Structure 1
Amino acid sequence: MMKKYNINRFIIVILLMGLTVSCKDFLDRPTEDSYTIDSFYEDDDQLYQAVNTIYNSPWYDFQRGFMKIGETLSGNMIFGIDDSYTNFTLNNSDTDIANASASLWSVNAYCNGVIENVDMKSGSAVTQYAKNTVKGEALVWKSMAYFYLVRCFGAVPIIYNNGEIIANNSSTTLKRNKVEDVYQYIVYLLEDAFELLPEENQTGRIDKYSACGLLAKVYLTKSGYGMNGTRNEEDLAQAAKYAKLVIDESGRELMPNYEDIFQLKNNFSDESLIAWHWTVGSQWTSQNSLQSDLSMGNFSDAVQSWGNWVYPSIDLQTAFDENAGSLVRNNRDTRRKATMMMVGDHYDYFWVESGGFDYNWDNATDGTYGGAITFGSGSGSNCAKHIVGRLADAEAQVPGATLDRMSTPLSTHILRLADVYLIYAEAVLGNGNSTSDAGALAAYNAVRERALHSYYEPASSITFEDIDKERRLELALEGDRWYDIVRLHYYKPEEAKAMITAQERGYWQGLNDFYEKDDASNLEIFTHKVSGLSDDDFTLPFPEVDLSLNPGLMDEPVDFDFSSIGY
């Protein structure tokens, strides 16, 4: 189980002031009790170390919510025996929602602390370039935290400055701010970051084009809020503008081989604009724990896992034009195998000591954690993304890499170049029924060409449905799909509801007999569909601990005074 914290989300803002450091290497962790704030921000190197932590630790408790919210609510995944996300029966006592909230407010607090300390505590040897860069990185991470908060919970408090909350003793009386103000606040933060960040940063770190890409995504999402059937044209134009800057000026290109993006050797790939970068060590919360949740029991000799009953949905398989009720894979879209394992698949980068891993629904033998794998997926598939595998697999990817019981160092890509390509296509399409714009087609077709290879045929015109399907397949199991549906719900709520209610969220019966005995007599889908969706189902409930300590969160949202912070 992931480590859980029973901490009020707003008290975190007071307690965490952003001083968490690491050594010369981007992800190394030193002893932290040898520094104080007053003695730490003395040179550029220390300044960069101060922001390193924001690339992993405060995000740690969001990992499970990242998948359950992003993928299970959206219909891409079934998450074990917890059917509350599948059935839209969530309540404010849900542990993973509470952990997600705590994590996101923790990120905000870290970022505020770093930004404040850069201005207040930096020594005379610190260069302005380093100050700008570190502040820009923190601003982007703060924007990302608020982007998740507003899309998950709707109206939330805007906490601009930790010091003010402390001085005013107002952590338990914070009011929610209107959704449109939260989006405008994110835009202001990212515009500042865009001005501060360099075009190129150290490997793996956020740069100007990371801010550009996120701005494009925020504007695209913002464009539909409060609208009815159409989107704000000015916001769409801004989304297209910033996406185009990334496409034309960043120098980044799509990786030729899709499945390479998600392997350990490409943690810092050119395609990754923003990522959580994890490490395995003594610092708890610095590691990626997703393999434990998502991989089959006994899949690794080093990482414990309990993901037999966590699996991609039948509906996602259908989107890939696959059918677990057949032994024949079409393999037209290379993203399917890189996303989910199905019978007949071979992976040369898993179980390298044994010549690779074959997903054949047999009792494949591992070692340390109990021997044979039990294939228990209700959809006839298991996750391939977010998985490193065994110790030898990690070492083959990155010499010296290690794994631990709930720990891998595999980066989690939060914003990729392909996402920006599809954002651009959607922004150019805008409120039209279709588009033949050359730039939009080039972006859309580039994503499809990589995925389809010899099966690729260029599209000469695209619709919203084309782009939306491409987004689903391209970003499947990357914690993003729910937010596409939330974006649609902003301006076309009935279409968003219809998208959910049309999905197959059930499971196969008779798979064992079919795969092991070639007996299909009991093979059928136990169908399950969501019904009775309301608009409220597109916003998560505030955790009960937040409400008990700050009942004002139930009050109507208020305007945010942007003049109070200089905007």
Structure 2
Amino acid sequence: MKKEFRILFSLIMVFGVLSCNVDRLPETSISDPAFWQNENDLKSAANYLYTFLPGLPETGDVWSDDAFGTSANSISDGTRITPSSDGYYRAQYRLIRAANNIIEKADLVADRGGDINQINIYVAEAKFFRAWGYFNLFRRYGGVPLILKPLNIEDEELNMGQASREEVVAQIYSDLDSAVLDLKSPGTIKAEDYGRISKTAALAFKSRVALFEGTRSKFHGYGDAQKHLMIAKTAAKEVMDSGEHDIFPNYFNLFQYEGEGRQNKENILVRQYGKNLEESISYHVAQRNLETGAANPTRGLATSYLMTDGLPISKSPLYEKPTNTVEVFNNRDPRMGATFFKEGDEYIGTQPVFNIPAISFQKTGFANRRYANLNDWQVSRSYIDRTLIRYAEVLLNYAEATYELDESISDEDLNISVNILRDRESVSMPHLTNSLVDNNGLEMREEIRRERRVELALEGFRYWDLIRWKTAEIELPKTILGNYFFDEFGTEVVPEVTSDNLIILQKAENRHFDPARDYLWPFPVNQIALNPSLEQNPGW
């Protein structure tokens, strides 16, 4: 299924090595105008864009309150400083430049007799990736220079200032709307092209962008929040109504080989890896990184999981304070046990069956189970694809946008969104309803946010959710806690604990968040030096 696309990926990697000092693919080895002869040249150039999709391991949740590494994180605790340079910033503009080049050169290929339908598809892919790059910049920096054509060293646009937030997000919408017109639906993409951008991928991503800006606008008090929230809801509903996607029955297997390929209709966009040792084009070592403590789940995340009666631990009569690591998982949402290692789980070659977290590096007393696979551990490489957009997120986007538009949501809308996730075969949790909320002193907004937190746990969403909800200033300065320090952890490593025997990772007194500064990232110093029109974000 992946054979042809993986062969193409290997060619991409060769081109990538050649192009390490430039911003676009074809010009590295041959004259740029001579490269664009037919639609296959466009495809080769479009393939390069896929190398910019983020890989594994995913450790971005250490920026938030959901994970803690082997030491404190400067983004999470507010101690970072303005960087002298930033490879991430430059990488996004390399992606944008490569996409711009494809869009510009498409007419040249058409003039040379290329298949216009195929040309339009690769241009649509380029527009998707241009939107992807600009959203990555937009989330961090707000307004950024908006460059929509390949630039030469003498072009004045190299010194242009930031566009406004509204201008950047409007361009992202425009690119995604244009892409939707020419991209194929997932069901019509050939098996050998599995992994290419689809129509529903563009719509799902549009719902992500619009929900981000809609809620950020609403809670930070600027712009037209209702407009963006409606865009988010409408885009999500288009994906839901397409009939192309469904929920995969087993939550743990979403992040295993069983969840790969076309049979998993929940996956909308993935970062693909090689197939096996014999076809080892690219691989990752996510499990080894996570096993040694790169992103350990925190107590904050752990306490978010509901009890099996559908109530939080603070409300449920089922909750009893645990006396060991096994009891932590008693009567909890099954997604917790699929996300955290627990006693009896298949583990690693030197310890085939998991017992308790190793406090020396799994410092929170919880262990991250994402992408764990014993066979992959044995060969020190994994080919499990990374899910970047999945249908569960679309359903959550729909529910949140619907609620935030009117600050209410019907049981009917909950049933076509949140409750589909709770009905997952391996989950089977009670439905979220208005009566459940009203009868138990809960708040619907918080329950929708809770569902998002546990469903998308450790996938890199939490930090950006805190940013857009304007709750980072509340949540990030809090003390970061881990599990109870049970006797079974032993005394080889004895962490500091609270009066209630909870592991302390970092105290509140050492954590800071400046609302006037930290909701935007600083532009790298070298970029401001290169472009005098680029204005540093406030407070940096």
Work out whether the TM-score is over 0.5. yes
**1: CA distance, partners of 2:33 / 2:259:** 37
**2: CA distance, partners of 1:265 / 1:27:** 22
Q: Does structure 2 retain, via aligned residues, the 8 Å contact 1:341–1:384?
A: yes
Alignment of 1:528-543 (within 5 A): 528-529=507-508, 530-531=511-512, 533-543=514-524
- The reply to whether residue 497 of structure 1 matches residue 490 of structure 2 is no
Q: Which residue of structure 2 lines up, in the alignment, with residue 133 of structure 1?
A: 121
2:44 is paired with a residue whose SS is: helix
Q: Which residue of structure 1 lines up, in the alignment, with residue 266 of structure 2?
A: 271
**2: CA distance, partners of 1:555 / 1:124:** 45
Q: Does structure 2 retain, via aligned residues, the 8 Å contact 1:153–1:540?
A: yes
Normalized against structure 2, the TM-score is what?
Answer: 0.78
- The reply to whether residue 420 of structure 1 matches residue 394 of structure 2 is yes
Give the Å deviation of 1:253.
0.5
Q: Which residue of structure 1 lines up, in the alignment, with residue 462 of structure 2?
A: 481
- The reply to whether residue 110 of structure 1 matches residue 85 of structure 2 is no
Give the Å deviation of 1:437.
4.8
Letter in 2 for 1:29: L
Letter in 2 for 1:85: I
User: Using a 3 Å threshold, how does the CA distance of structure 1 residues 237 and 435 change in structure 2: closer, same or farther?
Assistant: same
Alignment of 1:273-292 (within 5 A): 273-279=268-274, 287=282, 289=284, 291=286
User: Using a 3 Å threshold, how does the CA distance of structure 1 residues 441 and 109 change in structure 2: closer, same or farther?
Assistant: same
**2: CA distance, partners of 1:519 / 1:227:** 45
Q: Does structure 2 retain, via aligned residues, the 8 Å contact 1:345–1:359?
A: yes
1:273 is paired with a residue whose SS is: strand
- The reply to whether residue 248 of structure 1 matches residue 236 of structure 2 is no
Q: Does structure 1 retain, via aligned residues, the 8 Å contact 2:287–2:377?
A: no
User: Using a 3 Å threshold, how does the CA distance of structure 1 residues 224 and 38 change in structure 2: closer, same or farther?
Assistant: same
**2: CA distance, partners of 1:520 / 1:451:** 40
Give the Å deviation of 1:135.
1.2
Q: Does structure 2 retain, via aligned residues, the 8 Å contact 1:118–1:135?
A: yes
Question: Structure 1: which 4+ aligned runs deviate by more than 6 Å?
Answer: 517-522
- The reply to whether residue 339 of structure 1 matches residue 378 of structure 2 is no
Alignment of 1:324-363 (within 5 A): 326-328=325-327, 329-330=329-330, 332-342=332-342, 344-347=343-346, 351=348, 357-361=352-356
Q: Which residue of structure 1 lines up, in the alignment, with residue 49 of structure 2?
A: 54
- Once structures 1 and 2 are overlaid, which stretch shifts more, 221-230 or 193-202? 221-230
**2: CA distance, partners of 1:76 / 1:94:** 28
Match of 2:232 among 239, 247, 255: 239
Q: Does structure 1 retain, via aligned residues, the 8 Å contact 2:229–2:404?
A: yes
1:538 is paired with a residue whose SS is: coil
User: Using a 3 Å threshold, how does the CA distance of structure 1 residues 519 and 83 change in structure 2: closer, same or farther?
Assistant: closer
**2: CA distance, partners of 1:380 / 1:459:** 33
Cα deviation, 1:182-207, whole Å, max 9, x if unaligned, reads: 11111111111111212233311111
Q: Does structure 1 retain, via aligned residues, the 8 Å contact 2:360–2:493?
A: no
Give the Å deviation of 1:531.
4.5
Match of 2:430 among 456, 469, 481: 456
Q: Does structure 2 retain, via aligned residues, the 8 Å contact 1:78–1:86?
A: no
Letter in 2 for 1:470: E
Q: Which residue of structure 2 lines up, in the alignment, with residue 470 of structure 1?
A: 451
Give the Å deviation of 1:101.
1.9
Give the Å deviation of 1:467.
1.1
- The reply to whether residue 146 of structure 1 matches residue 130 of structure 2 is no
Q: Which residue of structure 1 lines up, in the alignment, with residue 302 of structure 2?
A: 317
User: Using a 3 Å threshold, how does the CA distance of structure 1 residues 485 and 555 change in structure 2: closer, same or farther?
Assistant: closer
Q: Which residue of structure 1 lines up, in the alignment, with residue 310 of structure 2?
A: none
**1: CA distance, partners of 2:43 / 2:473:** 45
Match of 2:78 among 88, 92, 117: 88
Q: Which residue of structure 2 lines up, in the alignment, with residue 191 of structure 1?
A: 177
Give the Å deviation of 1:507.
4.4
Q: Which residue of structure 1 lines up, in the alignment, with residue 23 of structure 2?
A: none
Letter in 2 for 1:554: E
User: Using a 3 Å threshold, how does the CA distance of structure 1 residues 241 and 324 change in structure 2: closer, same or farther?
Assistant: farther
Q: Which residue of structure 2 lines up, in the alignment, with residue 547 of structure 1?
A: 528
Give the Å deviation of 1:376.
2.4
**2: CA distance, partners of 1:143 / 1:519:** 47
**1: CA distance, partners of 2:368 / 2:166:** 36
**2: CA distance, partners of 1:448 / 1:197:** 31
Give the Å deviation of 1:340.
2.5
Q: Which residue of structure 2 lines up, in the alignment, with residue 525 of structure 1?
A: 503
Letter in 2 for 1:138: A
Q: Does structure 2 retain, via aligned residues, the 8 Å contact 1:278–1:409?
A: yes
User: Using a 3 Å threshold, how does the CA distance of structure 1 residues 440 and 120 change in structure 2: closer, same or farther?
Assistant: farther
User: Using a 3 Å threshold, how does the CA distance of structure 1 residues 411 and 325 change in structure 2: closer, same or farther?
Assistant: same
Q: Which residue of structure 2 lines up, in the alignment, with residue 376 of structure 1?
A: 361
Letter in 1 for 2:326: L
Give the Å deviation of 1:498.
2.3
**1: CA distance, partners of 2:206 / 2:400:** 14
| Cα RMSD (Å) | 3.7
Q: Does structure 1 retain, via aligned residues, the 8 Å contact 2:8–2:47?
A: yes
User: Using a 3 Å threshold, how does the CA distance of structure 1 residues 508 and 428 change in structure 2: closer, same or farther?
Assistant: closer
User: Using a 3 Å threshold, how does the CA distance of structure 1 residues 435 and 192 change in structure 2: closer, same or farther?
Assistant: same
Cα deviation, 1:421-475, whole Å, max 9, x if unaligned, reads: 0111112112434321513432110112227734434524672211111111111
- Once structures 1 and 2 are overlaid, which stretch shifts more, 314-323 or 29-38? 29-38
- Once structures 1 and 2 are overlaid, which stretch shifts more, 513-522 or 266-275? 513-522
Q: Which residue of structure 2 lines up, in the alignment, with residue 442 of structure 1?
A: 416
Give the Å deviation of 1:53.
2.5
User: Using a 3 Å threshold, how does the CA distance of structure 1 residues 318 and 504 change in structure 2: closer, same or farther?
Assistant: farther
Q: Does structure 2 retain, via aligned residues, the 8 Å contact 1:236–1:430?
A: yes
Q: Which residue of structure 2 lines up, in the alignment, with residue 168 of structure 1?
A: 155
Normalized against structure 1, the TM-score is what?
Answer: 0.74
User: Using a 3 Å threshold, how does the CA distance of structure 1 residues 436 and 452 change in structure 2: closer, same or farther?
Assistant: farther
Q: Does structure 2 retain, via aligned residues, the 8 Å contact 1:422–1:471?
A: yes
Which blocks of at least 5 consecutive residues in structure 1 are unaligned? Answer: 1-21, 297-306, 363-372, 394-402, 490-494, 558-567
Give the Å deviation of 1:554.
2.0
Match of 1:72 among 55, 62, 83: 62
